[in-house]
Structure 1
Amino acid sequence: MSDSCTHIVPVHTGDYPHAEAKAREILAWFQDRGLVAAAPSDCTLDGPGYAFTPKIQALFIEPMDPRVHDGVTRGLALHAGPRKVFHPMEGAELSFVCPGCGHDQGWDGVDAIGAWFAGEEDEPACPACGERFHINRYGTDRGGTDTPWAFSNLGLTLWNDHGGAFQPAFLDSMRALYGTDIRVVEVHI
């Protein structure tokens, strides 16, 4: 069985302020509810993370099949620091649609993403209309038919969470914790 994960990333302009403090607050939210272990372990492919407890199932609409993902790679990873592109990896498509004119740059948008990642340009210009928009305003999900991409210096990743749909209340809690809208990026490796 291959690994998978789900990134939950805030949608914002500029770098997320006090990202490390926010990551600690998010970890505390998970730990206060008994959803993850108190001590870090080698349970993610992102380095040390926090292993899921059986209570993690409360975050999902459908219960997990206990036979799925019974390995050691099952846990919460937090990213706070340098800018990161959160993308779907396997079979990833890139739609990079201008919010002004609707022009889709497709994979040509990689240059704009690279400039954002390097901290050179947060508001790429659309090659069709010339208008500049923050990178998080560009559409990356092909009108809702593909997994979106997300761009931030902060995010959380649930490794081998079973790929089921999240409870709406959980996603609302993440929006409240981040203080922004969120993007949910499904990844299959």
Structure 2
Amino acid sequence: MSHSQAIIVPRISTFPAHEARARVILRWLAERRIVEALPTTCGRGAGGMAYAIAPGARNVVLRPELLPFGEPINGLEVVTRRCIYTPTGDFLEEAGCPRCRQEVGVPLFESLEEWWPGETDNFTCPECGFEDDINGFLFLQPCGFSNLGFIFNGWAEAGLLPSFVEQFGERLGFAVRLVQ
């Protein structure tokens, strides 16, 4: 059984009307038969509830034979609380400023103590003073910080198609990041 996750995260800390937008995305995915319309116990998170994989999932991945059909954990979990999404193995916590290009990983990740409870969405570069939403900084490995996230349990090995990730972002109305 695969414990991998492919996570799509909007590149904005506080997504406006995030719960309503999550419902719109779920309807779109269910209409395309990528996931089932009603949640079941096929998730890994709190309560184990998720939207089970559906036959249309084969159309949005590079290697459909690696999708978790028949596995007990195979569904899409929607997270509607502030969360940090990083790779689970060997995450380097390296980040750079998009303006001055200096390494700012240590202070950026230390600033998550203020970001997590929602005291701020922004980070200020200690080198040049540039300030932006934390998602606007450069990361060596894909990661995301948002009050909205879509976790596809067991789908990482199958590889979400770049065109699907792009369409997902268009539906959300924000740029997204794929975290695995």
Measure how far apart 1:171 and its partner are.
1.7
* Percent of pairs with identical residues: 30
Map of 1:52 onto structure 2? 53
Structure 1 residues not aligned, in runs of 5+: none
Measure how far apart 1:19 and its partner are.
0.6
The answer on whether the counterparts of 2:6 and 2:156 sit within 8 Å (CA) in structure 1 is no
Aligned residue type for 1:62: R
Map of 1:164 onto structure 2? 158
Map of 1:90 onto structure 2? 89
Q: Distance in 2 between matches of 1:93 and 1:152?
A: 20
Measure how far apart 1:69 and its partner are.
6.6
Q: Distance in 2 between matches of 1:2 and 1:21?
A: 30
Q: Distance in 1 between matches of 2:150 and 2:115?
A: 20
Q: Deviations along 1:54-80, whole A, 9 cap, x unmatched?
A: 3211111222247x6742010111112
Q: Distance in 1 between matches of 2:132 and 2:66?
A: 43
The answer on whether the counterparts of 1:64 and 1:162 sit within 8 Å (CA) in structure 2 is no
The runs of at least 4 aligned residues of structure 1 exceeding 4 Å deviation read none
Aligned residue type for 1:118: P
Aligned residue type for 1:52: I
Map of 1:20 onto structure 2? 19
TM-score, normalised with respect to structure 2: 0.89
Q: What is the total number of aligned residue pairs between the two structures? A: 178
The answer on whether the counterparts of 2:14 and 2:121 sit within 8 Å (CA) in structure 1 is no
Q: Deviations along 1:138-161, whole A, 9 cap, x unmatched?
A: 112x2xxx3x11011111110001
The answer on whether the counterparts of 1:69 and 1:162 sit within 8 Å (CA) in structure 2 is no
Q: Distance in 1 between matches of 2:166 and 2:132?
A: 26
Measure how far apart 1:38 and its partner are.
2.7
User: Where does 1:140-159 land on structure 2 (aligned, <5 Å)?
Assistant: 140=139, 142=140, 146=141, 148-159=142-153
User: Where does 1:64-103 land on structure 2 (aligned, <5 Å)?
Assistant: 64-65=65-66, 70-80=70-80, 82-103=81-102
**Aligned Cα RMSD in Å?**
1.9
Q: Deviations along 1:1-24, whole A, 9 cap, x unmatched?
A: 550101101113x51111111111
Distance 1:65-1:120 versus aligned 2 partners, 3 A rule? closer
